[in-house]
Structure 1
Amino acid sequence: MFTNNAMKNLMNGVFQKDFCLPDELQIILNEGFKKLDRGIIVFNRTFSEQFSSCEDVNSNIDKFLETFIDKSGFENFINKIHIDDYVFESVDIVNSAFIFLEKFNILWGQSFPEINCISLISFDTDNEFGLGCVFRFHVIREGSEIYDIEKIEDFIEPMAIKVYQAV
C-alpha cells in the first residue's frame, strides 16, 4: 500500500485492525461486481443506483467513454463510495475506510485474479460536515493512468493507494 504523508498523519494513533466493517459497507462488497462491455467493471451497487440496465450502458458506451476520456475514467467515476455516508465518527470513518480497502482487494482477487486493479481511499479534512472519505477503484490499463503512485505526495488530501497485481 502506498500512502502520502498527509495520510500517515491522519492514521497516527487512529487505525485499529480489530475494527469491524459496518454492515451497509459489507453489503456493498457482498453484492459484488458487474462486468460491462469492453472490460469495464463496476460495483453492482453503484451501477444499479445510476443506471437502469446493462443494455442502457452497453448501447451508449461510446458516449460515456467520450465524457470520461477512457474506460478507467468511467470506472473511477462510477465506482465511488462515500464511506462517510455510512459511518459518522471520524475515527470510525478512518477505520472503516481501511477495512473496506482491504476487503475490497481480497474480493477483487477472488473475482478477477487475472486483472490488475488500483483502489484508493482519500480524505477531505476541510469538509464543513466533518471528515469526508471516498473509496474508488478502476482496472489498470495500458496507456491509462489516473493516479500516479510515484507522485502520491503531490496530493494535498490524505490518500492511500493499493494495487492488486494479477496472479
Structure 2
Amino acid sequence: MLINELMKNQLQNISWGDVEVLKLPHELDEIVSLGFLEVSGCFLSKKLFEYCKNNSLHNFEDEIAFECFVNSMHIDDYVSEKYLQYSIVFCNSIIKKWNESHYGKLNVIISLDDETLLPTVKFHSKRKGVSWLDEDNLELSIQPILVTTNELKRS
C-alpha cells in the first residue's frame, strides 16, 4: 500500500470498527458482484461499462487510462455518510472479487477531493512499468491518495 501524508492523517481519523461492519449498499454491491469483463485487453467493471459503452481503448492514451475512465466512481453518489469507510469497504470487496478469478493484481486508488474530502475510487489492472499515478511522488499531490493491491485492514 502506498499513501501520502494527507491520506495517512485521514485514515487515522476514521473508525475502523465501522469498516469491519459496514455493508455495501445495493448499487455498490452490484458493481462488485457483477465482476469484470475484458475488452481489448482491458479489464472493466461490467456494471460501470454499461454507462460508457460508446468508449473504446482507441479513445485513450493506454489501457490504464481506459480502465480508470470506466472503473471510476464518486462514493458520495452511493452513500450519504462515512464516505472514506465505505470507500475502504468497496476497495476490499472489489479486490476480493478480482482475486477470485484473476491471476494478476488489481490496483485500487482512493483519492479525496482536496476541499470536500469526498472520495473517488478508481481501479485498473496492475501492469509492469506503468501506472495511473506517479507512485514515487504521491507527496506532491494536494489530495489525500491511497494506492493498494491488497485489502485494507486496521494497522
Q: TM-score, normalised by structure 1?
A: 0.79
Distance in 1, Cα, partners of 2:126 & 2:24? 28
Distance in 2, Cα, partners of 1:120 & 1:42? 15
What amino acid does structure 2 have at the position aligned with 1:161?
V
Which entry has the higher C-alpha Rg, 1 or 2?
1
CA shift at 1:22, angstroms? 2.6
Equivalent positions of 1:51-130 (< 5 A) are 51=53, 61=56, 64-65=57-58, 67-89=59-81, 92-112=82-102, 114-127=103-116
What amino acid does structure 1 have at the position aligned with 2:115?
D
Number of residues of Structure 1 aligned to a counterpart in Structure 2: 147
Distance in 1, Cα, partners of 2:29 & 2:15? 18
CA shift at 1:144, angstroms? 2.8
CA shift at 1:143, angstroms? 4.3
Contact 1:34/1:44, CA 8 A, preserved across alignment: yes
Contact 1:75/1:138, CA 8 A, preserved across alignment: yes
Equivalent residue for 1:13? 13
Secondary structure at the counterpart of residue 26 of structure 1: helix
User: What are the ranges of 5 or more consecutive residues in structure 2 without an aligned counterpart?
Assistant: 151-155
User: What are the ranges of 5 or more consecutive residues in structure 1 without an aligned counterpart?
Assistant: none
| 1:154 is aligned to 2:143 | no
CA shift at 1:119, angstroms? 1.0
Structure 1 vs Structure 2 CA RMSD: 1.9
Tell me whether 24-33 or 148-157 shows the greater mean CA deviation.
148-157
Identity percentage of aligned residues: 27
CA shift at 1:120, angstroms? 0.9
Distance in 2, Cα, partners of 1:5 & 1:108? 28
